[in-house]
Amino acid sequence: MGKTHYHHGELRGALLDAAEELVREHGVVGWSLREASARVGVSSSAAYHHFASRDALVRALSGRVLARLGERMNSAAAQAAEPSADVRQGLVAAGRAYVRWALEDPAVARLAFGSGAHDPEATISPHPHDVLDAELDRLVEAGTLSAEARPGAEFVVWTAIHGLATLLADGLMILDSPEAADLQTERTLRAVLAGLTRETAPSQSWPAAHSAHTERRA
């Protein structure tokens, strides 16, 4: 692929664009900061003004990708919720957006969710986790989900949609079309929500799950 052109003062964004192209072509680890610099048409020393290392470039790209996913999920949820009397549709739409994204761009999805891939101090807005939080809070407000079942429910939902996305992306589960993936995502989420609505308090508290994002948000 040819060079990624950039305007003066936009080298950082051009390097991120080049890195994203390289991830799609070679995977998460099959390229270097020098290659990203060459693709933009600058020296590695110029790239170091923006990124101290390849890992720093990867972390910045991961943050940008996660914010883009959050925007996609948020938009899908808002569009689904407006005309629907079923308050669950917002969460279902956000889940479909998540799974579709992982299938359409699997290499970039692996980058975004790789261990240590993003900067724990970076602000990602909207974060996909926050979109799930907002939709589950809406279910509580509507009386569809009890307040008692709400703590940690976002991790239950995330487990379901990320697990489905991973199975499909890795070819361990095969569906005939993107539309079939949408329907499978909806079935999965509706089953999870049905379970959450019938949940009874355990004899001891459920484990308090957390992530780098929730720790930073706290």
Condensed to tens digits (0 to 9), the pLDDT of residues 28-37 reads 888 999 999 9
Based on the domain organization, do 128 and 151 belong to the same domain?
yes
Q: Is the pLDDT of residue 174 over 60?
A: yes
Kindly state the tokens that stand for 214.
């929730």
pLDDT for residue 36: 96
**3-state DSSP assignment of residue 34:** helix
Query: How many Cβ atoms are within 10 Å of 85's Cβ, its own excluded?
Result: 5
| Helix, strand, coil percentages in the chain from 3-state DSSP, rounded to 5 | 65, 0, 35
Based on the domain organization, do 8 and 87 belong to the same domain?
no
Report yes or no on 40 lying in a domain.
yes
The parent domain of residue 16 ranges over: 1-52
Q: Is the pLDDT of residue 121 over 80?
A: no
Based on the domain organization, do 7 and 102 belong to the same domain?
no
Based on the domain organization, do 207 and 186 belong to the same domain?
yes
Burial label for 125, CB within 10 Å (0-12, 13-18, 19+), is: exposed
Read off the CATH number of the domain in which 82 is found: 1.10.357
Report yes or no on 58 lying in a domain.
no
Lowest average pLDDT, out of 153-157, 192-196, 203-207, goes to 203-207
pLDDT for residue 83: 67
Based on the domain organization, do 88 and 145 belong to the same domain?
yes
**3-state DSSP assignment of residue 185:** helix
Based on the domain organization, do 146 and 103 belong to the same domain?
yes
Distances, alpha carbon 132 to alpha carbons 68, 73, 201, 202, in Å: 15, 9, 22, 23
For the chain, what is the mean pLDDT? 90
pLDDT for residue 118: 64
| pLDDT one-digit tens code per residue, 61-118 | 999 999 999 999 999 999 997 766 799 999 999 999 999 999 999 999 999 887 566 6
Based on the domain organization, do 38 and 117 belong to the same domain?
no
Estimate to the nearest angstrom the gap between the alpha carbon of 180 and the chain centroid.
20
Q: Is the pLDDT of residue 143 over 70?
A: yes
Based on the domain organization, do 42 and 81 belong to the same domain?
no
Query: How many folded domains does the chain comprise?
Result: 2
Phi, psi torsion values for 172, nearest 5 degrees: -80, -20
Based on the domain organization, do 69 and 46 belong to the same domain?
no
pLDDT for residue 176: 95
Phi, psi torsion values for 169, nearest 5 degrees: -65, -35
Q: How many whole angstroms separate alpha carbon 101 and alpha carbon 116?
A: 21
What does pTM read for this prediction?
Answer: 0.90
pLDDT for residue 217: 83
The single residue listed with the structure tokens 């079942």 is 149
Handedness of CA 125, 69, 162, 154 (dihedral sign): positive
| pLDDT one-digit tens code per residue, 36-59 | 999 999 998 999 999 999 999 999
Q: How many whole angstroms separate alpha carbon 3 and alpha carbon 46?
A: 16
User: What is the length of the chain?
Assistant: 218
174 compared with 207, residue with greater pLDDT: 174
